[in-house]
Amino acid sequence: MKPIGQGATGTVWQGVDSATEEPVAVKLLHESLLRQPRLVTRFVQERTILLMLRHRNVVRVRDLFSVGETLGLVMDLVAGGSLRDHLERVRTVAPAEAARLAAQVADALAEAHELGIIHRDLKPDNILVLERDGRLETRLTDFGIARILNVPSMTTPNAVVGTPHYMAPEAFHGVTPSPATDVYALGVLLYELVSGQPPYLSDSVPELMRLHAEGRPHRRRGIPDELWKLIRACLHAKPRQRPAAPALVRDLRLLSRKLAGIAALPPPPPPRLAPADPDDMAVDPPELRDGIRLPGRHAVPQARRPRNVAPRHRWLRSSALIAVLAGVLLATGIATSWWHPGLEPHVQPQVASMSSKPHPARVAPHSPAPSRARKKAAVRVKRPAARPHRTTRSPEPEAYGPWQCAQGFVIDLSTRSPLVPRPCHSVGRNVRFQASLTAPAGGRADIEVTLRDADTGTTVAGPTRCAGLTFTRGAMTRECGPAGAAPRRGRDYTVVMAYRYERDGQSSTNTARGRVFTW
């Protein structure tokens, strides 16, 4: 067998059915996840869901097998790659072709919704394509995180699955998914097919949440009126106002005929976004990350590479090329003398002495009155406070490199709040470390930051604690630190951030790990 792809729970290999000699795709569950009953159950659920779905636009499952400690799914091989691969080659698709491909996906969703199944992570990466008679056909896959509506949710509490560029506004707040959730993602997909990029682009998850909630996608010149009307209906902020999947099938098929002959739009200019780690925008349950060290992930320490993991560089999710940047000031490096009120309650301000004589305020009650010269000295001490624009900033004692920050995104279901934790480090003669948390207004948090040995987990510096941080509309990101340390050289370290967040009488605790670095 040879590897041909990789997903959140397993690696996909190309094999051969020994009975029919037909090529097949074999999805093997990551070895590091086999000891997690919840994930094994989810993996088996994927097979159950796909066996229920017998649709021409859904990847067909042939068998589920177990060999030793390995679980695998045998599926039809779709050798044409993903719709994401196709988009990367052609950049934009003609309106008629976009409507035709979207109609196929809507048809598959309509049958899934009829069975009470919600896909929850519809995007070009999860749509495979093949060519027949010179035309593309789609095959919807990756129902491993789907939710059967009449079965209790298997999603880990305090986590939501999805990819922020394709998530409906209600999905950001942990609302129970519905068929309208998939319809919204289909509207994003249709927009991307004709425009060359999703409707909302940002390097900040809170900003993406705001854009999705406001629901004002930019209409590129050249998108036909009827197609734009359908896209806007799918992207409606209110789930009840979106069309159902069966109605979309009819409308899209009609549009694919009416829009024939209209050329594809020119490719859009590249977005001006900072380079980012590829997986930072993928929102997976914590158990999908346990025991795995993915590029850009900070949730867990590095683990041994499973034997069945394929090389990642060929299948990095292009839809997740924008990372969460929750503390822009931190990313650019904050001067150590700058503090936001209340962020560092344990740091006492340092006052430089300007005279060896006692300050007048500290003279004993029965001491002689201070001399005129002493009074003048006291005036000179107070002058900088009265005229702050004449004060001089102390020189930086030593140079540090830029802040290196890990970033993640989780929706806490107990408080119904999207949270962006961000542990950071900077190295120079010593090591500096700090953390920030981005959260909705109206909440409060306690943060504790430590520097730990990445191999042993031993705390080598800290903790630095910041209690009672409040979040407002003008301050949705709160920082804790920086603190300094001089650990042993030649070892690997990581910043660990523990936080407790409270809102509307509900609270939750969690941790986040920074990137492992050698100092």
Quote the CA–CA distance of 204 and 420 in Å, as a whole number: 9
Q: Nearest CA to 494 among 463, 444, 455, 465?
A: 455
DSSP code of 238?
Answer: S
**Do the Cβ atoms of 429 and 398 come closer than 8 Å?**
yes
Q: Which of 17, 63, 85, 121 is labelled catalytic?
A: 121
Quote the CA–CA distance of 258 and 226 in Å, as a whole number: 10
Q: Is 357 within any annotated ligand binding site? A: no
Please say if 182 is a catalytic residue. no
Contacts 24+ apart (CB under 8 A), 240-244: 240/180, 242/180, 242/183, 242/184, 242/187, 243/183, 244/110, 244/113, 244/179, 244/183
- Before 23, cis peptide (omega within 30)? no
Q: Which helix or strand (DSSP H or E) is residue 208 part of?
A: helix 205-214
Q: Which helix or strand (DSSP H or E) is residue 393 part of?
A: none
Q: Provide the 3-class DSSP secondary structure of residue 35.
A: coil
Give, in degrees to the nearest 5, the angle at Cα 293 between 290 and 294.
110
What count of Cα atoms within 13 Å lies in the side-chain half-sphere of residue 89? 7
Residue numbers belonging to the annotated binding site: 27
Active site residues: 121
Residue numbers belonging to the annotated binding site for ATP: 27
